[in-house]
Amino acid sequence: MRAVVLGIGNTILTDEAAGVRAVEALEQRWKLPENVLAIDGGTSGMEMIEDLSNLDFLIVLDVVKTGAAPGTVVKIAGDEIPVFFRSKLSPHQIALPDVLASLELLDTMPKEIIVLGVELISLELGMEMTPTVAEKVPVLAAMAAAELAARGYVLEPLTAQAV
């Protein structure tokens, strides 16, 4: 049973950093088991194919644009995933659909994929997220930890916030 938590985004475009910061928060608050890999995917593309091949479970942490109120945390799973990849919900969603299409072509697609995201407010050039999105980063990390635990992955809390 192998899983990856993939935080994606561009850390110099304010709220676009949320996915990367959420995967960092996950690693700071929980010790992940050996069969779970946390990846700062940044704005990577095809170079992620090997890490994402033949997974049992893939969690993508990202900013999204679903039409919900800014700062809203969303979970996209199951039948909603194909819609997610047809509709451009993330500003850098060029690479991930291509990677997943390649995985499908190679018959190495993850068995289960969920996207945990937060509605963005700003994509201005800058290193600081808006306060509303920044306060959702630990929420995304906690949601990822809960999704892993629900599937039998054993995470060990490292901080009081993780308990």
| For range 58-81, the mean pLDDT | 89
pLDDT for 87 equals 55
Q: Assign 163 a pLDDT band (cuts: 50, 70, 90).
A: low
DSSP secondary structure code for residue 126 in this structure:
B
Altogether, the residues listed in the chain come to a count of 163
Kindly state the tokens that stand for 37.
């890999």
- For residues 150 and 93, the model is more confident at 150
DSSP secondary structure code for residue 129 in this structure:
P
| pLDDT, tens digit, 9 for 90 and up, residues 122-141 | 888 999 999 999 999 999 99
CATH of 3-157, one of 3.40.50.2000, 3.40.1280.10, 3.40.50.1450, 3.30.420.40: 3.40.50.1450
- For residues 2 and 66, the model is more confident at 2
